[in-house]
Structure 1
Amino acid sequence: MEQRNRQSKPARRPVTPIQTDYVRAKERKEQIRQARKTRLYRRLAVFGLIVLLTFGWMTWSIVEKNKVLAAKQQEKEAALAELEKLEEEGHDLKLQLEKLDDPEYIAKLARKEYLLSEEGEIIFTLPDDKDKKKDDGSKEDKKEKGGEDYDSGK
């Protein structure tokens, strides 16, 4: 059976192309079409590469700008917190300045800071908060200052 199949198939011989003007023109058109197709693919590849690089650059640029923006936002928040703190401090200083116009406040401040006393007044010195922590709040270390201290100007 195999012999029959082999014999029934005709042997293929190479076909020689006809060399006429028509055939040559057709072959030339096919070569031109293939060359155009190849150039088209090359142009599309170059254009695609340019688009891809541009897209990558734009994405990188946006990411970098977002990082800078986040850093500036943190700086702004820190500056606003500092501004709020300074405004509060300024308000406290204005109150202190207003208090310094009051003669009673000045007298009280002088008595407190410079241990000055009025006539008949006894001054007791209490330990600072730091001393309280060291002494565990013992009241025995309080000193009583005897006698009267008078301001030389009174």
Structure 2
Amino acid sequence: MLKRNIASMENAYIQNQKVKEKVIAKRRKLLFRRLALFTVIAGVITYIMISTYITRNHQLEAKKAEKEKLDHTVAAINKQQALLKNQIVKLNDNDYIAKLARSEYFLSEKGEIIFNIPDSNSKKKNKQEDVSY
């Protein structure tokens, strides 16, 4: 093969073309860098948004579960409050207090004899306890 020595022309047009090519290459390089930076920033922002969404979703589910638990507690407390109010009304009645004293504490009036008859349910429980030994 023959080796050719070709000298490039050194005129103003060629020098202008080389400068334009360098400028275009430099702009292309800067454009690529800007796009890469934008992509990285967009990715980071997307990651932060998704992780925040997932975290908030878990927190919301935990709060809903806690609210449901507290609603059940409030319902139980309201039921207990109603029972206690009913008992307060009953305890203001003298006849109820006398009946309660007779049944629970075996108090009697003069000349009254108290007989304690066990319930049939308590007999069954006692039999079951004897069998379990």
Normalised by the length of structure 2, the TM-score is 0.84
1:42-91 CA distances to partner (integer Å, 9 max, x unpaired)? 01101110111011011101111111111111111111100000000000
Which structure features the higher share of helix residues? Answer: 2
In 2, are the aligned partners of 1:115 and 1:123 still within 8 Å (CA)? Answer: no
SS at match of 2:85: helix
Q: Report the CA distance between 1:125 and its aligned residue.
A: 3.9
1:9-88 correspondence runs (5 A) = 13=4, 15-88=6-79
- Report the equivalent of 1:123: 115
Aligned length: 129
Q: Are 1:135 and 2:127 an aligned pair?
A: yes
In 1, are the aligned partners of 2:106 and 2:114 still within 8 Å (CA)? Answer: no
Normalised by the length of structure 1, the TM-score is 0.73
> Runs of 4+ in structure 1 displaced over 6 angstroms?
none
Q: Report the CA distance between 1:104 and its aligned residue.
A: 1.2
Q: Percent identity?
A: 32
- Report the equivalent of 2:88: 97
Question: 1:128, 1:19 → 2: CA distance?
Answer: 122
Q: Which runs of 5+ in 2 are unaligned?
A: none
Question: 1:131, 1:15 → 2: CA distance?
Answer: 122
> Closer, same or farther in 2 for the Cα pair 1:65/1:128, shift >3 Å?
farther
SS at match of 2:107: coil
SS at match of 1:18: coil
In 2, are the aligned partners of 1:111 and 1:117 still within 8 Å (CA)? Answer: yes
Question: 1:121, 1:25 → 2: CA distance?
Answer: 129
In 2, are the aligned partners of 1:117 and 1:123 still within 8 Å (CA)? Answer: no
